[in-house]
Amino acid sequence: MGQIRLKDGFQGEIMYVVPRPILGKARSHPLVSPLTPTDIGWFPAARYHYRERPSGAPEHILIVCAAGQGWLQVDGVRHGVGANEAVLIPARQAHVYGAVNDDPWSIHWVHFVGTVGDYYVSQLKKGAYTLSIDVDMGESLEALFAACRDAFVANFLLQRMIYASQALHHLLGHLFFDNRAFSPLLRSSQFRSIDHTLSFLHDNVSEKLCLDDMVRHSGLSKSHFIRVFKEQTGFSPMDYFIQLKMQQACMLLAFRGDSVSQIGMELGYEDQYYFSRAFRKAIGMSPKQYRQTNYN
């Protein structure tokens, strides 16, 4: 008896495909064109699952393994895939993948096209097709896949395709940029310490904290703290803290009637003019101009 290989047909599976004529019309919409999901599904305990595409697929393919194990083969190199791992295969890339027989994977999967999709594919290093997923993200990814799949119901309606596109935006953003196991801005082994420090800065936005205060709170050396902070936020520690203060100032100016001087004092600026200069530098207008813009 030959080896059993199945493309689909698993108990409990969910699969939706957008009819291509409908897809062609939907892709002309500005909210759908940059990122268009074309096919989506859920294959639980997909024993004997196997797909081989010698010329690749017309779309990028994202597979998220929720449980069990599978594998991916690209350019003759085989990659094992387990729970809390994802596979991202670029469009037109020849590939083969499948489930292992004794512990077959359960997978969420989606095919998509568009310039935003191209960008996400570019986030993987050349020759890399898998990424790790933080163990705490299981439920949130499950919910985002469910939302995207649900949007495929009545996908002949444009508003459903728009919603599916936006749900996929959220899913990919969560996977790539809110994922401590992968995200380029969060890769540092010291991320949890910096995360704790970011919360400290948010909680003390009205205080006059200096760099040494932040360093002490982080528990890192000053040079290491500054390097990792800039790597993960794109700002120096003090510039980040000033931006936080100005963000808070915008909210206070828009929703409270306190004077500019009072708001500056509340954020740790005793000199109103120094506060106004810092605000203008960060926001591009004076506090009074900002208030007028938001009140009128």
Averaged pLDDT for residues 120-135: 92
Domain boundary among 164, 185, 206: 185
Of the candidates 134, 168, 185, which is a domain's last residue? 185
The torsion of the CA quartet 168, 187, 238, 214, rounded to 10 degrees, works out to 120
Residue 7 located in a structural domain: no
Supply 150's token pair: 């649900």
Q: How many whole angstroms separate alpha carbon 144 and alpha carbon 153? A: 15
Same domain for 144 and 198, yes or no, is no
As a whole number, mean pLDDT of residues 204-226 equals 92
Residue 250 counted as domain residue: yes
The number of domains in the chain is 2
259 lies in the same domain as 196: yes
Residue 211 pLDDT more than 70?
A: yes
pLDDT digits (tens, 9 = 90+) for 143-185: 999 999 999 888 778 899 999 999 999 999 999 988 988 875 5
Q: Give the CATH number for residue 195.
A: 1.10.10.60
Mean predicted lDDT score pLDDT of the chain: 90
138: tokens are 């299981």
Average pLDDT for 108-128 = 94
CATH classification at residue 96: 2.60.120.280
- Is residue 249 located within the same domain as residue 117? no
- At residue 65 the predicted structure's pLDDT band, cuts being 50, 70 and 90, is very high
Model confidence pLDDT, tens digit, residues 267-296: 999 999 999 999 999 999 999 998 888 654
What percent of the chain has a predicted confidence (pLDDT) above 70?
95
> Where does the pLDDT of residue 193 fall: very low under 50, low under 70, confident under 90, or very high at 90 and above?
low
Which structure tokens are listed for 220?
């890192």
Task: Mean pLDDT check: name the lowest of 68-77, 129-138, 163-172, 287-296.
Answer: 287-296
Residue 6 lies in a domain: no
Q: Are residues 125 and 243 in the same domain?
A: no
Q: Does any domain span residue 275?
A: yes
For residues 147 and 36, membership in a common domain is answered with yes
**Is 270 exposed, middle or buried, given 0-12, 13-18 or 19+ CB atoms closer than 10 A?**
exposed
Give residue 1's pLDDT.
42
Q: What is the pLDDT of residue 126?
A: 87
The whole-number average pLDDT for the span 217-228 is: 89
CA distance 117 to 171: 12
What 3-state class would DSSP assign to 104? strand
Give the mean pLDDT of 115-123.
95
Check whether residue 170 and residue 25 sit in a common domain.
yes
Q: Are residues 156 and 211 in the same domain?
A: no
CB 175 within 8 A of CB 133: yes
- In a shared domain, residues 212 and 147: no
Residues 172, 44 within the same domain: yes
Whether 4 is in a domain gets the answer no
Among 137, 155, 185, the domain boundary falls at 185
pLDDT of residue 190: 45
Tens of pLDDT, residue by residue over 242-273, are 999 999 999 899 888 899 999 999 999 999 99
Position with higher pLDDT, 184 vs 19: 19
Q: Which domain holds residue 74?
A: 14-185
Do 135 and 88 fall within a single domain?
Answer: yes
Q: Are residues 95 and 210 in the same domain?
A: no
The reported pLDDT for the residue numbered 185 is: 54
Q: Which stretches within the chain are classed as H helix?
A: 20-26, 115-122, 138-151, 158-177, 191-203, 211-218, 222-233, 237-255, 260-266, 272-283, 287-295
* pLDDT for 266: 94
Q: Is residue 32 part of a domain?
A: yes
Q: Is residue 3 part of a domain?
A: no
Burial class (CB in 10 A: 0-12, 13-18, 19+), 146: middle
Q: Are residues 174 and 262 in the same domain?
A: no
